[in-house]
A and B are shown apart, each in its own frame.
Chain A
Amino acid sequence: MGLQLASARVTRYLPLAIALGAAGFALLWVLVIAEPPSFEPNAKATWRTTTFGSAIDDPASFLRILLDAVTFAGLLFIVASGFSLIFGLMRVVNMAHGSFYLLGGYIAFEIQQNMTGQGFSIPGEEVNSWEWIAPVLVAAACVAVVGLVSQQLLLRWNAGQDLRQALITIAVSVIVADQVIAHFQGGRAASVTWPGWLNRFVDLKVWAVEYSLARLVVLALGVGVGVSLWLWLYRTRTGMVIRAGVDDQQMTSALGVNIQKTFAIAFVVGSALAAFGGVVGASQGNIASGQDGQWLLNSLVVVIIGGLGSLFGAAAGALLYGLVFSFSSTYLPTTGDNCCTQYSIVFTFILLALVLALRPQGLFGKVR
């Protein structure tokens, strides 16, 4: 027993020390330690050589990567907040979230193709705002219906059996992902086109950085979704009921609230957010079958880091994951052919492991 007590203290502070050390070193690395590649003949790459060098060597690139991270976090938040909302209220891990993302993106693609009457790739200047917004609305509505039907038909009567519900959503995910391949472009890569006015770079007037307006809009959309969700959850009656349901489902129900209706609303909003994220993702890059797994991973990492069911957790998780994702793929040493930027995925795991070691329930998660 004495041994256990001593080890309890070590297990409590060791992960914290390691996490702080790792974060501190990563910060120092990016800000100071990294070196730009030397262009002199016969110069050999050292362990400090990176693509851009440190933030002091090349502040413009640093700012660009930082903006990449933050804007990616905006998209991560849009997708993961829906996942987190559904889990927080119903304790349903919606494994079909990635498939809903894919479905949303492809529906929007088809609608936009029909609206503009253009071929596979649409020139950006020929798309007006409405031809982007209408596909978003239709895609979100369609996926919301798919989500609602799966919830009402398959999940509703299984409340409380969270493992069984997770298995059901995995089955839904398999079916939806396969149906997407069968009915949309055979699952080949496709992309939604941003409205023409977004297709330019803005001069930020800092270190002569020009940055894509579309990416900044992704960030704005993420912030917009976050603020709307906050207003909805904390300033309206429905939101109050949802928060009450998160804290104590039975008590809320006993007070005469129709909790089933609340569940349905949460599932509709969560699925619609996955679809919205899918359209934004398809506009920013592309969408292809197989990305359902990637976006399920992204949602899972964000909410596991941030804490399941917490809005602020989803925001913090998206930001942290976005930073680690962007910086690890650009600021690792470029010493040789096989080193080291290809190891960036390892840092996602390290981030996950450190957070879980410190707080198994996630940064903003509640202990239940």
Chain B
Amino acid sequence: MRSLGAPKTVVERLIAAFVLVLVAAGPLIFNDYWVNTILTQTFLIGIAAASLIFLSAYGGMVSLAQTALYGIAGFIVGNMVTQGETKGLNLGWDPTLALVLAIVMTTVIGLILGSVAARSAGIYFLMITLTYAVIANYFFGQVTLVSGFSGISGIDRYTPGFVGEVVAHPNRLYYIALVAALAVYVLIRYIVRTPFGISLQGVRDEPIRMGSLGFSPALHRAVAFAFGAFIASIAGVLYVWWNGQVDPQTIGLQATIDLLVVAVIGGLGRIEGAWVGAFAFIVINNYVREVEVPVLGGSFNTIIGLIFLAVVVLSPGGLMGLWDRITSGILGGRGGGSHRIAAGPPKAAPETGP
């Protein structure tokens, strides 16, 4: 994706190092509101957005089910750890066990959902995953056994020992989210260089040719989707620790679109875009909430819609694409490959059977 050793890479590494030092010393520099609300949320929403960007950039699959998967992980944790004062199963299990089970179960659910959608790509994949998202939303809204309309609350009181009481020690969760975000970033960068990652990119570009070479496009997509679910589940677990509650609105259409907005603002072509987009979105969300839109009327959503529209129309690569374009102008390196990806793979038709 990038020309290694170019001046641009050096600049990017310097910026990355600076940002890392800044966030590592975060609690010393920023006030509590920024640390607990904006940055912690940026890390965990960024992880969820990274799963979306991974599927889009390397698998050619824009998935709208990532919010649903992240919510499913949250609901699993909520049902397992709480002890009787909220909706759901209230199993009262050990929080660490719940953490592991939530991630494993969500990954398996991702594998199943991925297998159903795996013979489609491009725009069809987007539609099928959107139906997953809406169905999951209705499922948790209707099934009172595991959630019901009001959802599960008080989850932050049952966190594993290493997280501790979230309200009393918010900085711990901040660092856990930071480490998780870094680990996810490194893991994705590693996965896309493995043979699986390479053949996944082959399936993205030339599914029919890859099929005739003996690779199964459907299998690659299903496994990639399961991996995306795995990453989303990490974000989901962090989310319920951070937020303390999860309800059907957490995975509603609004939230689904918000995550897509995060990924698109950041840029669907590069993993880093996930956290850039999450940061931009959350800052806008926190500071533009109360503003009335002039002329049109309407709320925050109209502003987000207009920003989203502007990004898609003017800079399909999002902020990272804009960065690539600016730096390639100044530093002379070749721009990133994000434009092509955001514009969609050229052939988005579903394939027929094997």
Contacts and interface: CB of A to CB of B under 8 A. Distances in A.
Interface in A147-200: 154, 161-164, 166-168, 170-175, 177-179, 181-183
A297 B134 contact: yes
A91 interface: yes
12 contacts: A1-B214, A163-B343, A164-B343, A166-B126, A171-B308, A177-B301, A338-B145, A345-B139, A356-B119, A356-B120, A356-B128, A367-B349
A357 interface: yes
Contact of B298 (A181, A294, A300): A181
A304 interface: yes
The winner among B62, B312, B342 for most chain A CB atoms within 10 A is B312
Interface string A1-28: 1001000100110000000000000000
- Which A-B residue pairs are the 4 nearest by beta carbons? A163-B344, A293-B253, A174-B305, A175-B305
Given A163-B342, A177-B301, A345-B142, A304 B131 contact: yes
Contacts, number: 154
Interface in B313-354: 313, 316, 342-345, 348-354
Given A11-B353, A345-B138, 12 more contacts: A1-B214, A91-B123, A95-B130, A163-B62, A168-B312, A171-B306, A174-B308, A175-B309, A182-B293, A300-B130, A301-B131, A344-B142
A171 B143 contact: no
Contacts of A338: 143-145
Nearest to B307: A171
B354 A168 contact: no
Contact of A292 (B124, B253, B260): B253
Given A175-B309, A292-B253, A342-B142, A162 B344 contact: yes
A95 B123 CA distance: 11
Interface string A296-309: 11001100100010
Contact of B302 (A182, A342, A352): A182
B165 to A, nearest CB: 32
Contacts of A182: 293, 296-299, 302
B120 A360 contact: yes
A108 B305 CA distance: 25
B180 interface: no
B353 A12 contact: yes
Nearest to A342: B142
A292 B349 CA distance: 27
Given A300-B130, A345-B142, A154 B313 contact: yes
User: Which label, helix, strand, loop or mixed, suits the secondary structure of the A interface?
Assistant: helix
Contact of A164 (B142, B293, B308, B316): B316
Interface residues of B, number: 57
B260 A343 contact: no
Interface of A: 1, 4, 8, 11-12, 91, 93, 95, 154, 161-164, 166-168, 170-175, 177-179, 181-183, 292-294, 296-297, 300-301, 304, 308, 338, 342-346, 348-349, 352-353, 356-357, 360-361, 367-368
Contacts of B352: 360-361, 367
B354 A11 contact: yes
Interface of B: 62, 116-117, 119-120, 122-124, 126-128, 130-132, 134-135, 137-139, 142-145, 214, 216, 252-253, 257, 260-261, 264, 293, 296-299, 301-302, 304-306, 308-309, 312-313, 316, 342-345, 348-354
B309 A342 contact: no
A168 to B, nearest CB: 5
B348 A300 contact: no
A1 B305 CA distance: 49
Given A293-B253, A346-B139, A367-B352, A357 B130 contact: no
The winner among A342, A343, A360 for most chain B CB atoms within 10 A is A360
A352 B126 contact: no
B300 to A, nearest CB: 8
Contacts of B142: 342-345
The winner among B62, B122, B124 for most chain A CB atoms within 10 A is B124
Contacts of A183: 297
A368 B190 CA distance: 35
Given A292-B253, A367-B349, A8 B354 contact: yes
B123 A93 contact: yes
A300 B131 contact: yes
Contacts of A308: 124
Contacts of A167: 260, 264, 308, 312
B246 to A, nearest CB: 18
A161 B126 contact: no
Given A342-B143, A367-B352, A168 B309 contact: yes
Nearest to B347: A368
A296 B144 contact: no
B252 A293 contact: yes
A367 B116 CA distance: 18
B84 to A, nearest CB: 16
The winner among B117, B119, B305, B352 for most chain A CB atoms within 10 A is B305
